[in-house]
Structure formats: C-alpha cells, structure tokens
C-alpha cells in the first residue's frame, strides 16, 4: 500500500545527539546506537474513526524519533502497518452497514491526508494486514509445527508457555495480564485454551466474514499480533531499534509480538527498545473509538485550524505523559504559533546557535519536546522584546523548528 508524501527535512549545520529513550521492557532510559540505518516499526491504525488526536499524538512521538535520527545523519528505515482486517473494523462496518473494504480504504486515505498535513514523515513500507497474509500463513504453520501453537475448533492459538521470555516486555503479573487481555482483543474466558492468555494466530473463517486461503491451515484470517511480527520481520528483521505505539499496546500486543518472534527466531528481544506514548483523554476519559469521545484532526482542519498549531499542541506534552485535550490546549498552541511566526518574520534577531543546541539536547533526552518549545519561546520573547543583530538567525530558527519539530513557520 502506498504511504503519503514526505515533507522536506532541512539539513542543519552541525550534528544532533544520539537518542536516549525510555524502554518499557527495562523501564529505563537506553541510549540507542543504531548504526548508519536506524530501523523502526510503528504500529499503524485500525482504519475506522481515524485520525483522532490520540493517534496523532502517538505518531508525533515517533516522527520526532525519526527527526532526531536524521539529524545525526543517519538514514531511517521506517515500517508501519494498517490493520485493515480485524474484529473491530468488521464490527464497525456491520454496524454502519458499509462495505468493510471501502471503510478501511476511506479511513486510510483520511489518515494519509492528516499525516501529510501534520508533516509526519511517511514510512518507507506501509503495509496492510491483508496484503501481508501470504507472509503470515507460513509463520503460523512454523509455530504450529514447532509445537508452539495449537488448534481449538479450527482456530490456531499461540501457546505463551512456549516462550521463556514471555512477560519481559510489559513486566505485568498474570492477573493484570488477564484483565488487559479481556479488554484489548483477547479471549481469556474461551473454554479449551491451554492458558487463558494465549492469543489467536489464525481465525478459521466465520459465516459472513472475509477469509483467505491458509495453506495447510483452514481458510481464515490472521490474528492481530502475528500481523505486526510478519511485517516487521519481513521488512526490518530481528533486533531492530524501536517498536513503537501507544501505551495500550505494551500488553498484549507488543508482549505477544515479542513472544511470537522469540519462538520463530530463537532471539530476544525483537526490538532493542519498546517505546510507548501516553494516552490522550477527552472529558476525563481516554480518547477511544469504542467510547466515541473523539476529536478528529480532519474536523479541526476543516474548521480552519492550522495543522502547525495542532502539531504544536501535541508537542507541548511529553510523549510519555497522559494528558487531556481541551480548547485551551489548542488556543495556547495557536497563540504560540503566532508568536513564533512573528519572531521569524524579521531578517535578523538574537543569536540562534544556542537555541538549536537546546532543541537537539531536549529531543535527544527522551524526546522532551516541551523543553524544546520552552527554548524556542525564550528566543521568540527575546526577539520581540529586544530584537537582535544576527543576520539570518530567524532563518536558522525556522529551519531548526521545521527539521526537528516538524513545524513549518
């Protein structure tokens, strides 16, 4: 599937710092040393009710990762999926009496538009679950043949007990896992499972639902976790630098993915860092498709909100924090964008070198975008109060803000 167009990333003088980022699996900061080509897999949307501010906040975090890496003169190999067949998508299509393929295509198209407007850098490989099925089937067969998967009424389940490292990504106890499994797409109460946590790898065809040839498996469709493993291993291989998503993906999704990959390859971990963004709330509750308490990027755009202001609203919150979207958050971002634009509209200004170093330092320090914004605020305030004589400083600032924060001034 095609991604979306890349906005240009201006090259800056000097070089950025290596990224230190929080890894859920070790619950600490790790300094990544990716080599010349950094590899990142970010879990993509399930294409209905896209793109809400929660989605945008999560993709913003991983866009910053890319920008930090690019600023260290590395290339970035970025892979993202689209879960274009899964229970919640099919349920929504049925509820609204629309074709599930059309729904997925329409929402994916909207997501591309929103990502483009927000200047999020596109993945090099943007892969749908459906197009990944030919690569998923052999992995499920291999897991079954290795004794790590079993059949239950035609469905194939992964046995979490086959992985000695199971639990090392999310570090949760069994009771917490069981609760989250029930909340997040698992079926811990289904009778006949070896372990209530075992996730489905392949679901045999259900009446009235789409299904695909499964080789030596029954006709059916893929489970959720194996989808991302198949795509990640196919395009990045084991031991890539970051697997990313919102914090609601740590368990079960990333835990199960690491387990599938461990059994398939004998290696751990699949990703050197598991990076999770906080949850954005609206009216006191996590913004979620199931609750319907959503603010859409496309609605704001249609109302005439500058996408750069939306992006600044996201950047004003640390990516690991849980935070709440309010009108005030957006008003503050609009005001900040105005101040910054006024400050860079003059030909000269206060020196900019320290500011560029401060932005770099802030982002390299676990993506501390709020600290980067404060540094730019300081420069803009100085420009407004006293001005400066450095010719071209405003240009330097505007290129740095564009390259490192994705905001076009």
Task: Report the nearest approach of ligand 5CA to the CB of residue 285 (Å).
Answer: 9
* Burial class for 365, CB neighbours closer than 10 Å (0-12, 13-18, 19+): middle
Collapse the DSSP code of 198 into the 3-class scheme (helix H, G, I; strand E, B; otherwise coil) and give the result: coil
Task: Report the nearest approach of ligand 5CA to the CB of residue 126 (Å).
Answer: 13
Instruction: Name the nearest CA neighbour of 310 among 42, 123, 114.
Output: 114
Q: Is 43 in the site for Zn ion (CB under 5 A)?
A: yes
* Burial class for 56, CB neighbours closer than 10 Å (0-12, 13-18, 19+): buried
Contact with ligand 5CA (CB under 6 A): which of 46, 60, 181, 262? 46
Instruction: Tell me how long the chain is.
Output: 409
Q: How far is CA 98 from CA 89, 107, 130, 324, in A?
A: 11, 13, 18, 32
Q: Is 233 in the site for Zn ion (CB under 5 A)?
A: no
In whole angstroms, what is the distance from residue 51 CA to residue 114 CA? Answer: 7
Q: How far is CA 41 from CA 21, 268, 275, 325, 396, in A?
A: 15, 16, 10, 26, 31
Q: For ligand 5CA, which is the closer residue by CB, 46 or 181?
A: 46
Q: Is 280 in the site for ligand 5CA (CB under 6 A)?
A: yes
* Burial class for 348, CB neighbours closer than 10 Å (0-12, 13-18, 19+): middle
Q: Is 249 in the site for ligand 5CA (CB under 6 A)?
A: yes
Q: Is 297 in the site for ligand 5CA (CB under 6 A)?
A: no
Contact with ligand 5CA (CB under 6 A): which of 21, 25, 32, 45? 45
Contact with ligand 5CA (CB under 6 A): which of 115, 130, 149, 228? 228
Q: Is 221 in the site for ligand 5CA (CB under 6 A)?
A: no
Helix (H) or strand (E) holding 259: helix 255-265
Q: Is 250 in the site for Zn ion (CB under 5 A)?
A: no
Task: Report the nearest approach of ligand 5CA to the CB of residue 256 (Å).
Answer: 11
Task: Report the nearest approach of ligand 5CA to the CB of residue 394 (Å).
Answer: 34
Binding mask 54-93 vs ligand 5CA (x if CB under 6 A, - otherwise)? xx-xx----------------------x-x----------
Q: How far is CA 24 from CA 198, 218, 318, 365, in A?
A: 21, 36, 16, 16
Contact positions toward Zn ion, by CB under 5 A? 43, 228
Q: Which residues bind ligand 5CA (CB under 6 A)?
A: 43-46, 54-55, 57-58, 81, 83, 228, 245-246, 248-249, 277, 279-280, 286-288
């Amino acid at each position: 599937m095609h991604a979306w167009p890349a906005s240009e990333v201006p090259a800056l003088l000097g070089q950025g710092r290596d990224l230190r980022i929080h890894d859920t699996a070790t619950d600490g900061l790790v300094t990544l040393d990716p080599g010349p080509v950094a590899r990142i897999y970010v879990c993509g949307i399930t294409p209905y009710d896209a793109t809400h501010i929660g989605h945008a906040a999560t993709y913003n975090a991983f866009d910053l990762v890319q920008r930090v890496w690019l600023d260290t003169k590395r290339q970035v190999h970025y892979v993202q999926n689209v879960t274009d067949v899964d229970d919640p998508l099919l349920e929504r299509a049925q509820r609204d009496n629309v074709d599930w393929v059309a729904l997925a295509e329409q929402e994916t198209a909207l997501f591309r538009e929103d990502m483009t407007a927000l200047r999020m850098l596109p993945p090099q490989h943007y892969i749908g679950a459906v197009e990944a099925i030919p690569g998923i089937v052999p992995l499920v067969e291999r897991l079954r043949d290795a004794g790590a998967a079993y059949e239950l009424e035609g469905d194939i389940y992964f046995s979490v007990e086959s992985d000695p490292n199971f639990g090392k990504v999310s570090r949760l106890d069994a009771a917490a896992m069981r609760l989250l499994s029930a909340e997040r797409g698992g079926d811990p109460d289904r009778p006949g499972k070896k372990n209530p946590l075992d996730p489905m790898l392949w679901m045999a065809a259900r009446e009235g639902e789409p299904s695909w040839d499964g080789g030596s498996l029954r006709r059916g469709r893929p489970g959720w976790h194996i989808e991302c493993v198949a795509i990640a291993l196919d395009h990045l291989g084991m031991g890539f630098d970051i697997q990313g998503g919102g914090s609601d993906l740590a368990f079960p999704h990333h835990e199960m993915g690491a387990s599938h990959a461990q059994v398939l390859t004998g290696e751990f971990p699949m990703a050197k860092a598991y990076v999770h963004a906080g949850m954005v709330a609206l009216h006191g509750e996590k913004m979620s498709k199931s609750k319907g308490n959503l603010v859409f990027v496309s609605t704001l755009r249609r109302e005439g909100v500058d996408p750069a202001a939306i992006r600044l609203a996201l950047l004003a919150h640390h990516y690991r924090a849980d935070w709440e979207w309010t009108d005030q958050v957006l008003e503050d971002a609009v005001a900040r964008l105005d101040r910054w634009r006024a400050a860079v509209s003059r030909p000269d200004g206060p020196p900019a070198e320290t500011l560029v170093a401060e932005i770099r330092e802030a982002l390299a320090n676990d993506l501390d975008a709020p600290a980067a914004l404060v540094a730019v605020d300081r420069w803009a305030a100085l420009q407004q109060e006293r001005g400066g004589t450095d010719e071209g400083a405003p240009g330097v600032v505007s290129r740095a803000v564009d390259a490192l924060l994705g905001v076009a001034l």
